[in-house]
Amino acid sequence: MNFELSEEYQDLVDTVRDFADQVVAPVSAKHDEEHSFPYEVIAQMGEMGLFGLPFPEQYGGMDGDYFALCLALEQIARVDQSVAITLEAGVSLGAMPIFRFGTQEQKQHWLPQLTSGEALAGFGLTESEAGSDASGTKTNAKLVDGEWIINGTKEFITNSGTDITRLVTVTAVTDTTTRENGSVKKEISTILVPTDTPGFTAEKAYNKVGWNASDTHPLTLKDVRVPETNLLGTRGRGYANFLQILDEGRIAIAALATGAAQGCVDESIRYAKERQAFGTNIGAYQSIQFKIARMQARAHTARLAYYDAASRMLAGKPFKTQASIAKLVAGEAAMDNARDATQVFGGYGFMNEFTVSRHYRDSKILEVGEGTTEVQLMLIARELGL
């Protein structure tokens, strides 16, 4: 087992790290305060090819792999989780379902726009009563004269309302059957809905605790009509396919969370060397040293966890449990490190312009989004036969 990065991977890490420090970080506080989407940063990321990292060149991609995407996410999340989640969702939730399950025509039409970063796509799964529990899905789609007519609402959809959002893939009930016991089984499919389709509305953006520069909206679909050919993948396999996408996405989220955890370490080290108290820098005190040492141990463990899950995925081995472990460990590491970093910074850690304060607000969603901590524990326990 060799955990050292190859020269190609290391070059990517160095490049993205420099970009994060020199381009992303200087405007992070501004966009966070204004709750504004960082279009100029996203455009530069598109030019760098970051949105195309795991996709083949024939679709405008960089012919890389999912681990390359994870490495990029870690570096960006050190300084700005909002920008990192925009990339993660744009790739793993926006473009990846089309790449995994789309027809050749769908791929050729949508992927070049998405891999270039010129356009974004979202995935409309969550509803007020449906997320982890697919049976709660109420959005429905009926096939009438060669068109899907879609009605319903979605909640918490990332990248769904920007000026460059062009597509949302929607899960919808396309049929129902009644079992012998009287319960209803829902057939859930996924359908591609261009955002300029009449009846599709991205409602007012949420006022969130964190990820303030990330775009998140509730969606309303009222008699939305799209061609039958906009069905993504096999009819009735929509939710099952998305579970596969979520398994992969948890590795990416773990990488993002690892970056957040490491960012808290880096900021705390810098501050501990500068801040003077009682005649010396606070980093000379063992209580601060031990706190930061524990933070580094969490970040290191989280990194090993997502490296392991990613290596299994790329080798074609089962990785579902390892992805859940990585997501669990990294999400908790980010939240714990954000809390400790805020303590190291003292009063300054409570000021929004400081990176650690944004990590403190941003990191909580890492224990909720794309599968809660409780869901990860459930999946791990299930794999243990419990």
3-state secondary structure of 163: coil
SS3 137: coil
Tokens of 136: 């709660």
Catalytic annotation on 47?
no
Give the span between the Cα atoms of 237 and 204, in whole angstroms: 31
What does the alpha-carbon distance between residue 4 and residue 12 come to, in Å, rounded to a whole number?
Answer: 14
Give buried/exposed letters for 64-99 (b at 16+ CB in 10 A, else e).
Answer: bebbbbbbbbbbbbbbbbbbbbbbbbbbbbbbbbbb
Burial (CB < 10 A; 0-12, 13-18, 19+), residue 157, is buried
Nearest-angstrom CA–CA distance, 49 and 359: 26
Could you say which of 74, 127, 248, 370 is catalytic?
Answer: 370
Q: Which two tokens stand for residue 206?
A: 């949420």
- Structure tokens, 237: 């396999």
Catalytic site positions: 370
